[in-house]
Amino acid sequence: MKNKRILSTKILNKDELSQLDLDGHEVEQWNFIKAEEKKFSIKLKEEILIFSSQNAVNSFFSQLQNTTRRDCICVGEKTKELLENKKQNVINFFMSSKDMVKFLERNLVGEKFIFFTGNQRMNNIENFFDNQNDNFRVVEVYKSYCNSKFFKNFDIALFFSPSGVRCFAEFNSFENIDCFAIGESTAKELKNYTKNIHIAKKPTISNLIDTVKLLH
């Protein structure tokens, strides 16, 4: 099999890279999306805390380091692990915001929540809480911005978010590229540029890498 050049639109950690059995393939990495903490001020009451990502968790605890153990809900396995490392009680986590909304509709209507998130986000959760009045607050704790860069002569590209797809598209072509999406939302954005899309069975980096290995 011919060796391939792989571009990851997010820098992977050593463990994630080790899962990708390169077999002589060349891997380039670049964070097409960068995140910065955003200053915020809030008085916590008895709300359940919702976190959209690891970035939201990191920003929250960098500014509220002495937060006592709280009930939390989050999107993503890695976000759950990070919250547990912060000694928080994760009552549930979900692979997507869509799945989270389904759970909230069935189980937690009437509870009070604070949603900690970034400036670029899916609106599923906020749309659900439009009529919840004072039971739901949104607090932006970080901001994301595009960090696009031109790459050439690669065969495979790994995508982790819709915004990452859009930033990639600023300077790069999708022609003759095998595109791998971590989830449905990312794949939906890719469809605006290409039909050559593969989706991970579960929206995790590990599953995304397994999909690449299966096909290459």
Instruction: Select the CATH number that applies to the domain covering 35-144 from these four: 3.90.25.10, 3.30.70.60, 3.40.50.10090, 3.40.50.2000.
Output: 3.40.50.10090
Q: Could you give the angle at which helices 77-85 and 54-63 cross, rounded to 10 degrees?
A: 20
Cβ-Cβ contacts under 8 Å for 113 (sequence gap 6 or more): 47, 48, 49, 50, 129, 135, 136, 137
* Beta-carbon-side half-sphere exposure of residue 28 (alpha carbons within 13 Å): 14
pTM as predicted: 0.87
> What b/e readout covers 31-56, taking b as 16+ CB neighbours within 10 angstroms?
ebbebeeeeeeeeeeebbbbbbbbbb
- CATH 3.40.50.10090 residue ranges in the chain? 5-32+149-215, 35-144
Q: For 10-54, what is each residue's pLDDT tens digit?
A: 999 888 888 776 666 789 999 999 999 999 999 898 899 999 999
Q: What is the pLDDT of residue 25?
A: 77
**Paired residues of 7 in beta bridges:** 28, 157
Query: Which whole number is the average pLDDT over 136-165?
Result: 94
- Predicted pLDDT of residue 209: 92
Distances (CA, A) of 98 to 70, 101, 120, 125, 209: 23, 5, 16, 8, 23
User: Above pLDDT 70, what percent of the chain?
Assistant: 95
Q: What is the SS3 assignment for 197?
A: strand
Q: Which helix (H) or strand (E) holds 208?
A: helix 205-215
Q: What is the pLDDT of residue 135?
A: 82
Distance between CA atoms of residues 125 and 127, nearest Å = 5
Query: What type of residue is 179?
Result: C
Tokens 């805390």, residue?
Answer: 49
Distance CA 212, CA 207 (A): 9
Q: pLDDT tens across 107-145, in order?
A: 877 788 999 999 887 777 777 777 666 788 889 999 999
Mean pLDDT of the chain: 90
205 CB-contact burial (10 Å; exposed 0-12 / middle 13-18 / buried 19+): buried
- Sheet of 178-181, strands arranged across: 26-29, 5-8, 156-159, 178-181, 197-199
User: What is the CATH number that goes with domain 5-32+149-215?
Assistant: 3.40.50.10090
Distance between CA atoms of residues 183 and 205, nearest Å: 10
CB 18 within 8 A of CB 24: no
